[in-house]
Amino acid sequence: MIAEGDKSYVLFPLGGKRFALPAETVTELARPDSVQTFPHRTPLLTGVLVRRGRIVPVCDVAQVLVGPAAPPRKFYLIANCNLESRQELTAVPVTGECELASGALVPRTGQEPPYIRGLLMMGDEIVEIVALEKLIAVEEPV
Amino acid sequence: MKSLKQKRPQPPQPAREDMIVFAVGGFKFAIAAGAVKEIRGMEDLHAFTLGGISGQIAKLKYTLERGGTTYFVVDAARHFQLPASHASRVMVLRNAPTGVLVDSTDRIMEISSLHALPRAFTHEERGWYRGLAVVNGTVVPVVNHNAFLNRAELEILRSGLERVRGVVTV
């Protein structure tokens, strides 16, 4: 049962950690597909997918969230992202299956990087809620 | 209070257009066939050396004289910031004194729609490409032919050549 004030989130794994996106932004979890590449200079983008006639950029957020040691990505979480006041789909490679969970957002403490929107307390686990549009704008992977 | 209406992504522009497919550094690109005047080999190219300017526009490799016009020939691999490739053809552009060195030209194809470059792409590629075409499931970037040498670069070249030669027709 979802308590008042709780919202739904999709939890996704990147190596040993889990992160969250608001469930209303997520449109599908896709099996690995062939990423197509062409020359570009935007740091986190690894290419594009063609999904149902639409071109979806692939943003490898693991480089920022967990660093270069992240294990191979197995699926793509496809989410709506608000870029320049337009909604665009973005594919985020994740390392395992995702889970739908609900909880209340705990506000940022101010210590987190700007691409963390807030925190979710899942028992002993603290899950960071990601602001995808801010994460995409990161210039240098950590 | 009125809520702000969120803009939806633009659908692909449904316009049929002939494109020349070419390759640079292992990647395929497309350019509007109407933007290309001639495709030729590497003969008659002169190394571009114009004191100071060669360094400012590093992608500019050669000049080509055709019908009284000096064409400035750009290395497409440098333009797209790719490793050096094996150029073998020059695409001479129409309506601009610009040539483009490419590895090979492939075929002419007709595209029926041009997808906007997703806004997640935020760097130089926004100037490089008019959009993306999907051909048999393969994504091919459609180049912005005016970006190989922009107005400012052409102006620098024009004035540099005028200094060296007196008057030049470009």
Give per-residue pLDDT as tens, B72-105: 999 999 999 999 999 999 999 998 999 999 999 9
| Predicted local distance difference test score (pLDDT) of residue B26 | 96
Does some domain include residue A141?
Answer: no
* pLDDT average, residue stretch A54-77: 90
Q: What is the pLDDT of residue B1?
A: 44
Mean pLDDT, residues A70-97 taken together:
90
**Residue A1 domain flag:** no
Contact A41, B123 (CB under 8 A): yes
Q: What is the mean pLDDT of residues B108-113?
A: 91
Question: What pLDDT, on the 0 to 100 scale, is given for residue A3?
Answer: 58
For residue A52, how many C-alpha atoms fall within 13 Å in the half-sphere facing its CB?
Answer: 6
Question: pLDDT tens across B30-78, in order?
Answer: 999 999 999 999 999 999 877 667 667 889 989 999 888 889 999 999 9
Helices (H) and strands (E) in chain B, counts: 4, 11
Question: Are the CB atoms for A34 and A90 separated by under 8 Å?
Answer: no
Mean pLDDT value across residues B134-139: 91
Tell whether A27 lies on the interface with B, counting CB pairs under 8 A: no
Q: How confident is the model at residue A127 (pLDDT cuts 50, 70, 90)?
A: very high
What's the pLDDT at B3?
Answer: 47
pLDDT at residue number B11: 63
Count of other CB atoms within 10 angstroms of residue B88: 13
Q: Do the domain assignments include residue A95?
A: yes
Round to whole Å and give the CA distance between A102 and A9.
6
Mean per-residue pLDDT, A89-96: 94
Range of the domain at A75: 7-136
Any domain includes A62: yes
pLDDT of residue A12: 96
* Proportion of chain B above pLDDT 70, given as a percent: 85
Res. A31 pLDDT band, cuts 50 70 90: confident
Q: Which residues contact B160 (CB under 8 A, 6 or more apart)?
A: B50, B52, B53
ipTM of the complex: 0.88
% of residues, chain B, pLDDT over 90: 62
> Residue B4 pLDDT > 60, yes or no?
no
Distance of CA A9 to the CA centre of its chain: 11
Distance CA A121, CA A123 (A): 6
> Looking at the predicted structure, is the pLDDT value of residue B6 above 60?
no
Would you call A124 an interface residue with chain B, using a CB distance cutoff of 8 Å?
no
Does residue A126 fall inside a structural domain?
Answer: yes
Q: Which residue on chain B is closest to A58 by alpha carbon?
A: B120
pLDDT of residue A70: 80
Q: Comparing A71 with A100, which gets the higher pLDDT? A: A100
CA distance A53 to chain B (A): 8
Q: How many Å apart are CA A122 and CA A60, to the nearest integer?
A: 25
- Span A98-126, mean pLDDT? 91
Q: Tell me which residue has tokens 């449109």.
A: A27
Look at residue A108 and tell me if it is in a domain. yes
Q: Which of B75, B113, B139, B144 to mutate to test the interface with A (most CBs of A within 10 A)?
A: B139
- State whether B124 and A57 contact (CB < 8 Å): no
CATH code for position A18: 2.40.50.180
For chain A, how many structural domains are there in total?
1
User: Is residue A54 one of the residues assigned to a domain?
Assistant: yes
| Secondary structure element (H or E) that encloses residue B105, with its range | strand B104-111
pLDDT for position B168: 46
Q: What is the pLDDT of residues A2-22, one digit of tens each?
A: 555 689 999 999 988 999 999
In degrees and rounded to multiples of 5, residue B39 shows phi and psi of -120, 130
B133 Cα to chain A: minimum distance (Å): 10
Residue A102 domain-assigned (yes or no): yes
